[in-house]
Amino acid sequence: MKLKVFLLILFATSLITVLGDIFADRVISFSSQYDEDSWSVKKLLGPPDVYPEYGDNENAWAPKQPDSCFEYVEVGFPHPVRARAVRIWWTYNPSPVWRVLVRDEKGLYHLIWEGEPRKLKDDAFIQEFQLERFDYLVVTVRIEMIPAKVQGWNEIDAISLVPYEGVKPKEKIYWASRVIDYSSEYSPVRWSAEQVLGPPDVYPEYGDVDKAWAPSAKDKGEEYIEVSFPYEGPVCGIVVYETYNPGAIVKVLLKDVKGRYHAVWERSGGEKVAEEKSRIFRITFPLTDFSVSSVKVVLDTSLVPGWNEIDAIGIIVK
């Protein structure tokens, strides 16, 4: 059933992007570098030129010494970005990251992640850190590390921002955190119902990718998934990230804390046929006068031939 071919096209213009990512184009400050040429801090600018290769490669940035107590780097981008995530493209011994901060246009720093550094894997790895607020533009990213916690040379090939689509300024989004019910899933792991949890990890890629939910069969008819969120309260919108054969959604319902369902959107039959590319299906409505405990998305898979896959579901809150 599932044959996947991934084509990654890297290109450089005044705005450097890979699958929507915006890559650092200048170094603001840094703690150290191995050399002014090989493994220099400038090696992490632009799109990846080592990844997915793993190993000690002079085209990635490495600090002056391995296993030091503290290192950091701060980078800027071609323009301010409304971002949903920061990505670090590791190519050797990930990840000694201790804290990740972003700076906005007013010069204020926002701590988006803090945690214990730990060895992730002996392989190239894209480490992603989600932003929870979207009411400011990101100008720089600062990565703080404790290399002594992950021994050996820790090397970064690139740092990027993932632009946010689907949510406007002053809106907040909560991603699905638990599956309540579903009609079917392709398997308990790959293309499982739980693949819709958390922020998008397939979008904007389009295709048959096992990190999205797919029902057990294609073109079968009605399928559904119901999810809850780390928030119960009034909402003003829903976003559904469809990453393969979009357009099969026929109904979206909200369940209140008393267990009653409220339909907020239903297919009328006159909708434009969705293009064969990833899309954010966004529904907005006046702020509900009830608290929402879960969202149910209903599909008719017979309407759009092929596997219909959903990457993520979120609720919008003002």
Task: Report whether the peptide linkage leading into residue 169 is cis, meaning its omega lies within 30 degrees of zero.
Answer: no
Residue 8: what pLDDT? 34
158 and 182 co-located in one domain? no
Question: Where is the domain boundary, 111, 133, 163?
Answer: 163
Q: Are residues 237 and 264 in the same domain?
A: yes
Query: Is residue 228 scored above 90 in pLDDT?
Result: yes
Query: Residues 237, 149: one domain?
Result: no
Do residue 80 and residue 115 come from a single domain? yes
Q: Are residues 236 and 208 in the same domain?
A: yes
Q: Is residue 11 part of a domain?
A: no
Mind listing the pLDDT tens digit for each residue in 106-130? 999 999 989 899 998 899 999 988 8
Task: Output the pLDDT for position 315.
Answer: 95
Same domain, yes or no, for 157 and 195?
A: no
308 alpha-carbon distance from chain centroid: 20
On whether the CB atoms of residues 306 and 245 are closer than 8 A, the answer is yes
Question: How far apart are alpha carbons 126 and 117 in whole angstroms?
Answer: 15
| Mean pLDDT in residue range 196-221 | 92
What range does the domain containing 22 cover?
A: 17-163
The predicted pLDDT at position 20 comes to 76
Q: Is residue 130 part of a domain?
A: yes
Order of strands, sheet of 17-18, starting from the edge strand that comes earlier in the sequence: 17-18, 21-23, 155-163, 83-92, 125-130
Is residue 135 located within the same domain as residue 25? yes
pLDDT at site 134: 74
Inform me whether the pLDDT recorded for 270 exceeds 90.
Answer: no
| Top-confidence residue, 20 or 216 | 216
**Across residues 305-312, what is the average pLDDT?**
96
What is the per-residue pLDDT for 167? 55
Q: Is residue 233 part of a domain?
A: yes
Quote the pTM value.
0.57
**Are residues 142 and 177 part of one domain?**
no
Residue 193, domain CATH: 2.60.120.260
> How confident is the model at residue 9, as a pLDDT?
32
Segment 36-47 mean pLDDT: 96
Structure tokens at 59: 């085209």
Q: Does some domain include residue 217?
A: yes
Share of the chain above pLDDT 70, in %: 91
Q: Are residues 198 and 305 in the same domain?
A: yes
pLDDT in tens, 84-96: 889 999 999 999 9
Pick from 163, 195, 212: which residue ends a domain? Answer: 163
pLDDT tens for 1-34 read: 433 333 333 333 333 344 579 999 999 999 999 9
Residue 179 tokens, joined: 């599956």
Residue 6 lies in a domain: no
pLDDT at 164: 79
316 close to 284: Cβ distance less than 8 angstroms: yes
Judge contact between 88 and 127, C-beta under 8 A: yes
Among 144, 163, 182, give the residue marking a domain's end: 163
Give the residue-averaged pLDDT of 276-297.
93
Range in 7-11, 132-136, 215-219 with the lowest mean pLDDT = 7-11
Measured CA to CA, the distance from residue 126 to residue 119 in angstroms comes to: 13
In a domain, 264, yes or no: yes
Question: Is residue 1 one of the residues assigned to a domain?
Answer: no
Kindly list the strands in the beta sheet with 97-104, ordered across the sheet, starting from the edge strand earlier in the chain. Answer: 26-30, 71-81, 138-145, 97-104, 109-114
Q: Are residues 182 and 304 in the same domain?
A: yes
CA-based nearest residue to 81, from 101, 100, 99, 104:
104
In a domain, 38, yes or no: yes
Residues 217 and 265 in one domain: yes
The answer to whether 166 and 20 are in contact (CB under 8 A) is no
Cα separation, 291 vs 311, whole angstroms:
25
Number of domains in the chain: 2
Average pLDDT of 192-205?
89
pLDDT digits (tens, 9 = 90+) for 136-168: 899 999 999 999 999 999 999 999 998 876 555
- Average per-residue pLDDT for the chain: 89
Q: Are residues 181 and 312 in the same domain?
A: yes
- Split at pLDDT 50, 70, 90, the class of 275 is confident
Task: Fill in the amino acid letter for 40.
Answer: S
Please name the amino acid found at residue 152: G
Q: Give the count of beta carbons closer than 10 Å to the beta carbon of residue 307.
A: 21
